[in-house]
Amino acid sequence: MAKPKNKSNKIYEQVAQHIKQMIEEGVLAPGDKLPPMTELAKEFGVSRATVREAFSSLVGMGLIDLRHGEGTFVQKIDVQTMIIEPMNAALLLGRSNMRELLEMRRLLEIGTVQGACERWTDEGLARIEQALNRQEAACHTLEEQVSCELQFHIAIAEASGNNVFLNLMNTLSEALRSTLRLTHEATDDVEALIAEHRRIFEAIRSRDGKRAVELMSDHLLHCERHVLAKKT
């Protein structure tokens, strides 16, 4: 494997893009096992942590599969991946697209929270509260917090009763996970983020659409500041 040459992106993005290109060109075929991270790090002249971050992006795009105890394998590309992968690839690898993703997320989630206020059912409200309770009880490891927060936002989309909103959230879930990870990496006050979620939930339960929209907008702007600061 040749070393990536694009200097405009972060190093892990260059590594991920290089491996992605090899998959697209058939150099790496479905089922092929990638060399160990240590070997790739030496080959690319980067740290093992950089390769790990590149792998995380590629997993999010559905291009590779990390199997504990077995290694890392190229995924078979199905129809769903062919549709979703280009969007997630652009969002996960393109720094210039991060601001656009955050803007789209804000518009999308303002719609979902407003819909949830108007149309939640007992079951839908319970799912939001369960996701929030899981986040509050999580052991504060990064991945647990990120997964719980993602489920909280998806539960709101489910409660909105709008399948288009829900499908968009699910389609963008891995790209959103990337932004959530950046948010949690950049903040020392996870409890403050959870408190914002609790206030959003209470507004939804009260069917106070105006309050819920204001809280969600403030929450997302808060997250955006963390993400954009982390990406610079």
CATH of the domain at 147: 1.20.120.530
C-alpha 108/C-alpha 169 separation (Å) is: 8
Give yes or no: residues 136 and 219 share one domain: yes
pLDDT in tens, 55-85: 988 887 778 988 888 999 998 765 455 445 5
Give yes or no: residues 143 and 32 share one domain: no
Give yes or no: residues 153 and 62 share one domain: no
- Three-state SS across the chain? CCCCCCCCCCHHHHHHHHHHHHHHCCCCCCCCECCCHHHHHHHHCCCHHHHHHHHHHHHHCCCEEEECCCEEEECCCCHHHHHHHHHHHHHHHCHHHHHHHHHHHHHHHHHHHHHHHHHCCHHHHHHHHHHHHHHHHCCCCHHHHHHHHHHHHHHHHHHCCCHHHHHHHHHCHHHHHHHHHHHHHHCCCHHHHHHHHHHHHHHHHCCCHHHHHHHHHHHHHHHHHHHHHHHC
C-alpha 4/C-alpha 117 separation (Å) is: 48
Per-residue tens of pLDDT for the chain, all 232 residues: 555 555 445 788 899 989 988 887 888 988 999 999 999 999 999 999 999 988 988 887 778 988 888 999 998 765 455 445 555 555 555 544 677 778 888 999 999 999 999 999 999 999 999 999 988 887 567 888 888 899 999 999 999 999 888 888 887 887 788 888 888 887 777 888 899 999 999 999 999 999 999 999 999 998 888 777 766 5
Q: Residue 49 belongs to what domain range?
A: 11-81
Give yes or no: residues 217 and 118 share one domain: yes
What is the total residue count of the chain? 232
- Smallest CA-to-CA distance from 191 within 125, 105, 132, 127 is with 132
CA 221 to chain centre: 17
Give yes or no: residues 125 and 223 share one domain: yes
Give yes or no: residues 63 and 125 share one domain: no
In a domain, 2, yes or no: no
The domain boundary residue, chosen from 31, 49, 81? 81
pTM for this prediction: 0.62
Give yes or no: residues 103 and 24 share one domain: no
Q: Give how many domains the chain has, as a whole number.
A: 2
The domain boundary residue, chosen from 30, 46, 81? 81
Give yes or no: residues 168 and 67 share one domain: no
In a domain, 5, yes or no: no
The domain boundary residue, chosen from 81, 111, 131? 81
Give yes or no: residues 134 and 223 share one domain: yes
Q: Structure tokens of 197? A: 């979620």
CATH of the domain at 77: 1.10.10.10
Give yes or no: residues 113 and 43 share one domain: no
